[in-house]
Amino acid sequence: MKNRIGWIGTGLMGAPMARHLASTHDVVVYNRTAEKARALLPTVTVAENPEQIVAQCDIIFTMLGMPEDVKSMYEDVLIPRAKPGTILIDATTSSPRLARQLTHLGKARNIVVFDAPVTGGVSGATNGTLTTMVGGDPDVFKTIRPLLERFSKTLLYMGDSGQGQQTKLANQIAIAGALASLAEALAFAEASQLPMEHVLTMIQSGAASSYASLMYGPKMLKSDYEAT
């Protein structure tokens, strides 16, 4: 028998992640822009509001926009309304401090809260090859591990609540540095009137090669700002 899983937030990342879960579980989704949730039909069931998901599901994922979205969803809806024993898993890139606060609030109602941000971009979410960094209860992590593996190529348990978000911050520092140096290199090459395609090939094939150069270098040359 399939377990019913709740998923709140079906944007660029959340939609494909929910699809992967729906291949093995009964998934109920909600998105504040209803059309984005209905685009997943008939693979999932669509809820009209998050309260319906809370009423139907004992494990609920969230993939929201900003920390303030996470704060309001958890403090106003999920934690006050969820049944004792519910497991809440936030995949949003958010605040370590907020993750710890929500875990504390959840414990008061016998609700387990995990922070589980991901990296790998839209392509990783689509292909099920994300890297997921988890903070929270180590014993309950064993319960949710098979679910996280549905969309993760690399799954890392990082420790207590907030440690998943701390790990994502380290990742973002590394990404920011790689992107900044790549942009500087390409700007220098352009100012030097070098053949840009050859410059990028050189960077990608030598010691300067990186995920940033392979994934974002071609987009920089085309001034393509769409998410990857």
Cite the active site residues: 168
Is the Cα dihedral 80, 81, 84, 86 positive or negative? negative
φ/ψ of 210, rounded to 5, equals: -160, 170
Tokens 């992640």 correspond to 17
Cβ neighbours around 16 below 10 Å, total = 20
Q: How far apart are the first and last CA of the chain?
A: 35
Please give the DSSP secondary-structure letter assigned to residue 3: P
* Cα–Cα dist 182/159, whole Å: 33
Residue 158 Cα distances to 90, 109, 132, 164, 199, angstroms: 15, 24, 10, 6, 38
CA distances from 92 to 71, 84, 175, 183 (A): 11, 23, 17, 27
